[in-house]
Amino acid sequence: MPAPSMTEVISLDRLQVTYHSPDSREPKIAVDDLTLGVRQGEVFGFLGPNGAGKTSTMNVLLGFTHAAGGSASIFGVDVRQPIARRRIGYLPEMTYYYKFLTAEELLRTYARIFGLAASETTARIDELLALVELGHARKRLIGTYSKGMQQRLGLAQALLNRPDLLILDEPTSGLDPLGRMKVREIILRLKAAGKTVFFSSHELGEVESVCDRVAILHHGQLRALGSVADIAQTDAGSLEKAFLRIIGWANAPQPNAPAV
């Protein structure tokens, strides 16, 4: 695997995201003073319990939400400028595709949206369906796909415009072990091709197996940043135990605790 460079693809500087609640005059703080950088060519895991601020941060990067303070940039361009997102591929946690389309028809639709030339589209679709191992099902209606197949189709869609940065929100959510393995293999192939992958996940085993570095958020604040080995070194090498300790879960199992 190529080593990540020191060039930052994503740069967050004291990022703040707030939401207004009808139940309170005070805004709710979703992301609080977050500073971190994601390097070119690395697989970066973005971790935290539900409500930690992961999706809010991604929404800023994708232009879905405006920051209340601080700054965010992609490839050195402020995320508030649409051109910053030209080199991004995005896979949401839940994929919602027209079930009456085939995989090939869906990808052709997105190819037109991306402005791919007709002469390039067929070859690109063939390449991506082979990558996500859906070539055999290209003519099947998406409504007949399993959850894992739909996730892999979502990855193909996210890769259609040849992005340099992939933002994946829970890419293995709800998948069986085989589905998780296939998504993991695709992420490693992307890394081998020099792509940068930034993804959130609750599947800590998947994170350990593919990530160069991880960040752990809690209550919108950065609580840990580094390699899996560095973060887990005081917890018997267990990322799960380190994660539970960092977020302050009172009932976190301790190292060498007896089995029940």
What is the domain extent for residue 143?
Answer: 94-163
Pull the structure tokens for residue 4: 């990540």
Position 3 scores a pLDDT of 58
At 156, the pLDDT band (50, 70, 90 cuts) reads very high
At 260, the pLDDT band (50, 70, 90 cuts) reads very low
Position 65 scores a pLDDT of 92
Position 119 scores a pLDDT of 85
Residue 248 has pLDDT above 60, yes or no: yes
Position 20 scores a pLDDT of 83
At 221, the pLDDT band (50, 70, 90 cuts) reads very high
Residue 139 has pLDDT above 60, yes or no: yes
| 149 and 181 share one domain | no
Mean pLDDT for the chain overall: 89
Position 253 scores a pLDDT of 53
| 189 and 244 share one domain | yes
Domain end, chosen from 130, 163, 196, is at 163
At 182, the pLDDT band (50, 70, 90 cuts) reads confident
Rounded CA separation 204/202 (Å)? 6
The least confident of 212-216, 237-241, 253-257 is 253-257
The residue length of the chain stands at 260
DSSP-derived secondary structure letter, 179: H
Q: Is the distance from CB of 223 to CB of 197 less than 8 angstroms? A: no
Highest mean pLDDT range out of 31-35, 117-121, 237-241? 31-35
Domain end, chosen from 141, 163, 185, is at 163
Provide the edge-to-edge strand list for the sheet that holds 196-200.
88-91, 165-169, 196-200, 43-47, 213-218, 221-226
Look at the chain and report how many structural domains it folds into: 2
When pLDDT is averaged across residues 91-106 and rounded to a whole number, the result is: 89
Q: Is the distance from CB of 75 to CB of 164 less than 8 angstroms? A: yes
Q: What is the dihedral of CA 10, 202, 62, 72, to 10 degrees?
A: -40
Per the domain annotation, does 260 fall within a domain? no
Position 159 scores a pLDDT of 93
| 188 and 75 share one domain | yes
The least confident of 123-127, 178-182, 193-197 is 178-182
pLDDT tens string 7-33: 899 999 999 999 887 777 788 899 999
Global confidence as pTM: 0.87
| 73 and 109 share one domain | no
Q: Is the distance from CB of 218 to CB of 246 less than 8 angstroms? A: yes
Residue 176 has pLDDT above 90, yes or no: no
When pLDDT is averaged across residues 61-89 and rounded to a whole number, the result is: 92
| 25 and 111 share one domain | no
